[in-house]
Amino acid sequence: MAPNDDPTKTKRLYQVWKGSNRFFFAGRLIFGPDVASLFLSTFLIAAPAIAFCIRMYIKIKHENTNVGRDYSILILGALLSVLDLVFLFCTSGRDPGILPRNSKPPESDEAFEETTPSMEWVNGRTPHLKLPRTKDVMVNGHTVKVKYCDTCLLYRPPRASHCSICNNCVQRFDHHCPWVGQCIGIRNYRFFFMFISTATILCLHVFVCSWINLLEKEADSDGNLWKAMSHDVLSVILIVYCFVVVWFVGGLTVFHFYLICTNQTTYENFRYRYDKKENPYNKGTRRNFHEMFFSKMPPSLNNFRSFVEESEHIIIGSMTPSFAEGEISSKEKIDIEMGNRLAEETGYSLPEILRNLDFDDLEDEMMVKIEGERPMDSLFMEGHDVKQSVEISIPGDDGKVRTDDSAAFQNGVGEFMESQTARNETDTSEQARM
């Protein structure tokens, strides 16, 4: 086989990508795993928009109305519909800011030799490599913790998080939107906001103009509204539809407008991240808007069409238990963040209900400080100071059996059993002499 025929040399990055993304047009477009929802969203926008344009065209051709005004309404509705669909596809079909994965953990010079409660085994193939679970970095004079991602084998930059649906770490992760079938991150957030705000304006436009059409039909029906509604059923349907949808997209637009003003993400807001401490990213409303809409779009960190060796991009997604002297190390862990399974020989798997949960902040939320008690992690770390308790059944002189499960009793078990055996032998020999 010729060197250029080696299949590992002809793979493109998108073909060996370990995330859950869907690629189209040879890696030029990247979608989330739930890309099918994009068709539903497109239908929910295009169907009423086309119906509205048809209604306006019929009105222009067959009804004696203000033709210039109706043409303006028709053109504006069509432009808003096309613009909204463009923003939808720009949000859904581009890289949201995916961080490149590492094929191995960070270099050993970043590891520490001492053992601390915040360290865990990070790779079954490198059992002596230990890394801190978190690191402190400075952001605008504030200390921010960044966490280690067991799936991508990297320390996430500030505001980055791992999406459990797309299986990627995303820069400035906002949320995963099922309506666009994609993560919302640093590279598509502005398109997402323009999508929902344009959808809100489109709903209001169709709602108001449909009411105008209905009221004009009422005037032609001698002031009978019910008669006008029976003759213009399409306008009634559009009014009801837009009234329902505008509460959803309008509320979403107002909420994200607030997030932009305060420079927050949905992920941070839902976790009350800045309720009790200052937001280090807030630069004021004007500068926050400038950063969101007028700053340069950061380039993608991945060239999904580049040729790579497949072996270099095999990412270790779960931990394979290593057995030493018949015991499993307490430092080995499941990759809970993505619900990866343990090795097939163990036969254990993560429950289905836990696979879509986000454990990014679980450590911070579940730590309970009890005064006077030692942290549980330190007890597990100092395994040589922990003594097992044993439960021993001891026959008493009164014929009753008592148990002792104290840890101190363990050291004298051997001596006690020897003395009991000698005593029984003595009693047996005395009975034989008699």
Which residue numbers are catalytic?
177
d(CA 186, CA 169): 12
Residues found in the chain: 434
d(CA 30, CA 182): 9
Burial of 97 (0-12, 13-18, 19+ CB in 10 A): buried
SS (H, E, C) the chain: CCHHHCHHHCEEHHHHCCCCCEEECCCCEEECCCCCHHHHHHHHHHHHHHHHHHHHHHHHHHCCCCHHHHHHHHHHHHHHHHHHHHHHHHHHCCCCCECCCCCCCCCHHHCCCCCCCCEEECCCCCCCCEEECEEEEEECCEEEEEEEECCCCEECCCCCEEECCCCEEECCCCEEECCCCEEECCCCHHHHHHHHHHHHHHHHHHHHHHHHHHHHHHHHCCCCHHHHHHHCHHHHHHHHHHHHHHHHHHHHHHHHHHHHHHCCCHHHHHCCCCCCCCCCCCCCHHHHHHHHHCCCCCCCCCCCCCEECHHHHCCCCCCCCCEECCEECCCCCCCCCCCCCCCCCCCCCCCHHHCCCCCCCHHHHHCCCCCCCCCHHHHHHCHHHCCCCCCEEEECCCCCEEEECCCHHHHHHHHHHHHHHHHHHHHHHHHHHC
